[in-house]
Amino acid sequence: MRVRRAGPSAVLLELDDDDAVFAAYDLLSAARADGTLTASEIVPAARTVLIDGVTSPDRITTLLKTRGPSTPSPAAGSSPTIKIPTWYDGEDLDDVAALWNTDRAGVIAVHTGTEFRVAFCGFAPGFAYLTGLDQRFHVPRRPSPRTRVPVGTVALAGLYSGVYPTASPGGWQCIGRTQAVLFDLEVDPPALLAPGASVRFVEVG
């Protein structure tokens, strides 16, 4: 782990993998909740955690040394699992089945049987990168991205699963669709899926 200053009041942690990011995010979020840490934002990404609004950046290093993040804490214990009703009829479902050496039912069983966790958000408002798939189920992006992926499309790419919150170009493998609203400015908070949340996909029909 590397700790870097990012401007006058922010610290950037560079970490080795998802588990290290989760562990650091959980530790720092708990420290902010109990008043041990003062920070305006804690933002996880693929291999980093940014802590902004820190009154004493050295406090981050002290916390990490004394509490030492090692393994991520279970997301399910902190909040209810968010369930995403899903129709598994995506254009790439058969291609994913071939990559996994199974059939459509096998893909559905793996995807609905996995407890995902929101690693971080990005790409578009409300787009959450979900981890949890076993490494043998990681899939490549499509060789040629689509110019338009419909809103609510459930897809896979690399180690991640995700749901397109709006219609947009995209190169992920499309396996299904949902009517769940991922981002709505009229709701507080506007994003359905926030970092650390536990997520399960539930087959419809």
For 77-123, the pLDDT digits (tens) are 457 899 999 999 999 999 999 999 999 999 999 999 999 999 999 88
Residue 147: how many other CB atoms lie within 10 Å: 8
Exposed, middle or buried by CB within 10 Å (0-12, 13-18, 19+), for 171? middle
pLDDT at 5: 84
What is the per-residue pLDDT across 173-193, written as a single tens digit (0 to 9) for each? 999 999 999 999 999 999 999
In the chain, ranges of CATH 3.30.1360.40 domains: 2-72
Higher pLDDT, 6 or 83: 83
pLDDT at 114: 97
pLDDT at 145: 95
Q: Which two tokens stand for residue 45?
A: 């990404």
pLDDT at 132: 94
Percent of the chain with pLDDT over 70: 93
Higher pLDDT, 55 or 54: 54
Backbone angles phi, psi at 61, to 5 degrees: -60, -40
The torsion of the CA quartet 131, 57, 55, 126, rounded to 10 degrees, works out to: -20
Among the residue ranges 60-69, 108-117, 127-136, 161-170, the one predicted with the least confidence is 60-69
pLDDT at 6: 86
pLDDT at 78: 54
In the chain, ranges of CATH 2.40.100.10 domains: 77-203
CATH of 77-203, one of 2.40.100.10, 3.40.50.300, 3.40.920.10, 3.30.590.10: 2.40.100.10
DSSP alpha helix (H) spans, 34-146: 58-67, 93-99, 104-112
Q: Which CATH number is associated with domain 2-72?
A: 3.30.1360.40
pLDDT confidence band for 68 (50 / 70 / 90): low
Average pLDDT over residues 4-20: 86
pLDDT at 118: 94
Q: Residue 57, preceding bond cis, omega within 30 degrees?
A: no
pLDDT at 35: 86
Q: Which of 34, 35, 36, 32 is nearest to 49 (CA)?
A: 32
